[in-house]
Amino acid sequence: MTRLYRSVILVIGLALTACGPTQIFPSASMDGVDKNFDFTAWRNVPNAQTDRKVQLGGRIVQANTEKGGLVIIVTQLPIVEQPAYGPKDNGRRSGEFAVVYSGALDPKWLAPGHRLVVIGTTGQAKAVMVDDVQRSLPSLTAQCVHIWRTAGREISDFPHNAGGGYEPLEEETHCVS
Amino acid sequence: MSPLLRQAMTVSLAGICLWSLGAAAWASESGPASRTPGPVPIVAQAETAAPVPSGSQGPTVLPPGGTSIEDLLLQKGSITMDEWIQIRAEQEYSGAESARRIDAIEDWKTRTELLPMLRDKVNFGLNALQFLYSHQDAHVPEGKSQDNFSIRRSELLFWGRISDTLPRWHALMEFQSINFGRETPTGGSGAATGQPIAATFFRESYIDFRPFQSWAPYMNFIRMGIFRMPFGIFTETSGGLRDIISSPYLTSVGSGNGNRTGSAGSIDFLQERDFFVDVRGKLFNRLEYVAGIMNNNNFHANATGANAPKSFYTRVRLFGSDVSWISFTTIQGESNNANTNINGRGKGAFDRYGLDFRYTSKIIPGFMVQGEWWQGHDGSNQTTVGRPANGACLDQSICGGSGAPGAQRRTWYVLAKYLISDGPLQNWEPTVMYEQFDPSTSMSNDLYTRTILGLTYYFENFPPKVQSKIQFNYEFRHHQGNGPGVAYDTTFDAFAQNAFLVQFQIRFM
């Protein structure tokens, strides 16, 4: 009987673990992060909400190399749990923001269309060139970024629906040292 | 009254009338200016008194329209009211034109946004267009050539996403080798001899159904239709993303008719496609699973085959990283050799066990190694499509077929490649693969082996969407024979003689 109970507890434990939330960043990095940050309000008045540690998701528009790091321009997308964890395009345009990443990344991670989740600290609006147009975007100094190499597709399209066969999705977390 | 006098009076009256009208008009224009100062008089003043120095009258009252440049110029007397009105009229016309254009664009945008193509409901792409040159050392019958050009694949893919509940529909069409002749024309005749090879446009078609959004990705979706079967790695890899030109022996090997050893003839060990329904999901963010049931007769059975047998299959794939894994697959069920489209599987119990792995290095970017190992029993009385067979009877004189017992077959391969990402050899990728296929583990002298040396150059390489490349493969092939004591000649055996292949491919979706 004891063995049966242990087995049941093990199965329940595994099931709960299997259905638990996805953790893509180191636990220490997540301390004090506002996961429900109001992007729209920040987008409208960027300088009103500085020095806040937040988590945002989106799709990479472009990446510029600057002195001491990278500036990644991202179109904001909501982060969802289903059908696959990550930023999901719901068809509504919300706006762009700039991620300042003080490190180096392989260019393969910075291609337009890749999905990204970033945690970092909000800063002053930043003047950037997007498609040869000077724009002032709210900026975020990144602590960690997690990038999916989706190249414009949905995360949930992988691995079974990305091409005419099975194609695993490459993803990686990068943190500034 | 004389006519002359009458004319003079008429002209005089007309002149008086015209003078009166002119005087009245002049009076109506000039009159108010002298009566009422203010905004209106300023206009009149500006109109009638352009030379008057600015500021002499009404500078504190702004003209209509606010303080634009033309307003200021008007106030300072640099332009006349006529010019001011002309400027404003041009501005208004220009504004109306812009508004009209914006309205037109908005209207167009609204219309186009409704197009299924822009809502991801309908997409199409080129799964693979491949032009192949091949040379084989094996001799060929008269009328055929050892050197061949062919369109290996010409596959157009159509797909879309209807909703979160129906996340994918998919159809793949193959446009090569439709009703081609098996033999080349002979004796000056224009007609091809032999049976035509009946291929079909229809290659893949399936529907994905996600009944519960909140269950994804743990129970992600149900797939039903025809598609690449989730057996190992190679079977499930798109023809436009493969690292070598030939398919490994695990899909098909050998040629000719079977015999009682179970070692001879063409053997389709694993079908690439079939009719199936299965469920797929992911647990712990590390463990993918698939479980389903299929007809076990390949997709050709859609038109001609017997769909009686059913097999259960399942695969679990454990990820070590996002792109490295180890998987276990099994197929359990029944095989049917009567009119089946799978060669040489016999009648009765049927099983397959598979193990596969892939290691994609993060330490050495561009390096990848993968392998598969498969083993399984066929039913007894294996036969080849087109030869008589009747159930599991092992007496060939009565039942037809090969009379071979259900053989246990085994195969494995290992493939490694390295994509050079910088320097003068950038975008070149050397590949090496070794494989074995043992048609019957209980028989000797029947082993197939092959080593493939490959070199690929990528013109564009953004998998899975885009991959244009040229591949050079040299295959060292060896075949021991068709079992112990069976006469065998390698001269015409393509699996016993080396081959060289060059393939140019475009893939875009």
ipTM: 0.85
- pLDDT tens for B240-277 read 999 999 999 999 999 888 888 888 888 999 999 999 99
Residue A107, domain member (yes or no): yes
- pLDDT tens for B176-221 read 765 555 554 444 444 444 555 555 678 899 999 999 999 999 999 9
Distance, CA of A154 to CA of B164 (rounded, Å)? 12
Residue A168, domain member (yes or no): yes
- Closest CB to B238 among A91, A163, A168: A163
Residue A136, domain member (yes or no): yes
Question: How would you write B98-158 as a 3-class SS string?
Answer: HHHHHHHHHHHHHHHCCCHHHHCCCEEEEEEEEEEEEEECCCCCCCCCCEEEEEEEEEEEE
B462 interface with A at CB cutoff 8 Å: yes
A165 interface with B at CB cutoff 8 Å: yes
A160 interface with B at CB cutoff 8 Å: yes
A-interface mutation test, from B323, B361, B362, most A Cβ less than 10 A away: B323
Q: What is the pTM of this model?
A: 0.79
- Distance (Å) from the C-alpha of residue A86 to the closest C-alpha of chain B? 12
Asked whether the beta carbons of residue B127 and residue A164 sit closer than 8 angstroms, the reply is: yes
Is pLDDT above 90 for B19?
no
Is pLDDT above 50 for B34?
no
Which A residues in the span 37-76 are in contact with B, Cβ-Cβ below 8 Å? none
A-interface mutation test, from B285, B286, B325, B368, most A Cβ less than 10 A away: B285
Q: Strand pairing partners for B508?
A: B126, B466
Q: What is the pLDDT of residue B189?
A: 42
Which sign does the torsion angle of CA B59, B60, B61, B64 carry?
A: positive
Q: What is the pLDDT confidence band of residue B302, given thresholds at 50, 70 and 90? A: low
CA-wise closest residue to B295 among B281, B279, B313? B313
User: In terms of pLDDT, which residue wins out, B197 or B478?
Assistant: B478
Q: What is the pLDDT of residue A46?
A: 87
Burial class (CB in 10 A: 0-12, 13-18, 19+), B435: buried
Q: Does residue B191 contact residue B172 with C-beta atoms inside 8 Å? A: no
Is pLDDT above 60 for B43?
no
Distance, CA of A74 to CA of A55 (rounded, Å)? 13
Give DSSP secondary structure letters for A76-128: EE-EE-SSSSEE---S----EEEEEE-S---GGGS-TT-EEEEEEEEEEEEEE
Query: Quick one: B124-508 is in which CATH superfamily?
Result: Porin (2.40.160.10)
Which B residues in the span 264-323 are in contact with A, Cβ-Cβ below 8 Å? 280, 283-285, 287-288, 322-323
Q: B187 in helix, strand or coil?
A: coil
A-interface mutation test, from B284, B368, B419, most A Cβ less than 10 A away: B284
- Closest CB to B214 among A18, A82, A167: A82
Residue A42, domain member (yes or no): yes
Average pLDDT, chain B: 83
Asked whether the beta carbons of residue B322 and residue A168 sit closer than 8 angstroms, the reply is: yes
Our separate counts of H helices and E strands in chain A read 2, 8
Averaged over B464-489, what is the pLDDT? 94
CA-wise closest residue to B465 among A64, A153, A45, A168? A153
- pLDDT tens for B445-476 read 999 999 999 999 999 998 888 999 999 999 99
Q: Does residue B349 contact residue B336 with C-beta atoms inside 8 Å? A: no
Domain count, chain A: 1
**Residues in CB range of A154: below 8 A, 6 or more apart:** A84, A88, A89
Which residues in chain B are closer than 8 Å to A111, comparing Cβ atoms?
462
Q: What is the pLDDT of residue B454?
A: 98
Averaged over A125-138, what is the pLDDT? 88
Distance, CA of B451 to CA of B29 (rounded, Å)? 104
- pLDDT tens for B327-367 read 999 999 988 877 777 877 888 899 999 999 999 999 999 99
Q: Does residue B369 contact residue B418 with C-beta atoms inside 8 Å? A: no
**What CATH number should be reported for the domain holding residue A50?**
2.40.50.140
Is pLDDT above 60 for A163?
yes
As annotated, the residues of chain B forming the CATH 2.40.160.10 domain(s) are: 124-508
Q: What is the pLDDT of residue B393?
A: 84
What is the domain range of residue A57?
24-175
CA-wise closest residue to B57 among B72, B44, B73? B44
Is pLDDT above 70 for B154?
yes
